[in-house]
Amino acid sequence: AQSVAQPEDQVNVAEGNPLTVKCTYSVSGNPYLFWYVQYPNRGLQFLLKYITGDNLVKGSYGFEAEFNKSQTSFHLKKPSALVSDSALYFCAVRDYSNTGKLIFGQGTTLQVKP
């Protein structure tokens, strides 16, 4: 069965510093991987996805993610964090049951301090 894990409940970084939010996955074939962001009292917003091709995927708001097949990871990165990046981030993998559903990790809270 497909699954994703986000090993950190919370990540703290200073504004202007690079940030990384970690995600590892377990799938039986080639993964479709996603990152979403959730601001307080809001729905989830799509950031980026990896389907195939380049291992470095660029997305919204300056975020990017690196797909690493050997390490089964898909870490979210940003070169310079902003206070406004503070939010809850979810990694997800598409289920291979042909239903289109996504399987989500537990979420990582990102706190960017001024």
Partner 1 sequence: NAGVTQTPKFQVLKTGQSMTLQCAQDMNHNSMYWYRQDPGMGLRLIYYSASEGTTDKGEVPNGYNVSRLNKREFSLRLESAAPSQTSVYFCASTLDHVAGTGELFFGEGSRLTVL
Q: Which residues sit at the interface with partner 1, rule CB under 8 A? A: 9, 32, 34, 36, 41-46, 49, 51, 90, 94, 98-102, 104-107
- We find the least distance from the C-beta atom of residue 83 to partner 1, in angstroms, to be 23
* Interatomic CA distance for residues 68 and 71, integer angstroms: 6
The count of other CB atoms within 10 Å of the CB of residue 63 is 20
Residue 85, SS3 per DSSP: helix
Q: Are 36 and 47 in contact (CB under 8 A)?
A: yes
* Interatomic CA distance for residues 108 and 7, integer angstroms: 8
CB nearer to partner 1: pick between 19 and 105: 105
CB nearer to partner 1: pick between 70 and 98: 98
Two structure tokens written together for 47? 């950031």
CB nearer to partner 1: pick between 100 and 114: 100
CB nearer to partner 1: pick between 17 and 106: 106
- We find the least distance from the C-beta atom of residue 6 to partner 1, in angstroms, to be 8
14 alpha carbon, distance to own chain's centre: 19
- We find the least distance from the C-beta atom of residue 106 to partner 1, in angstroms, to be 5
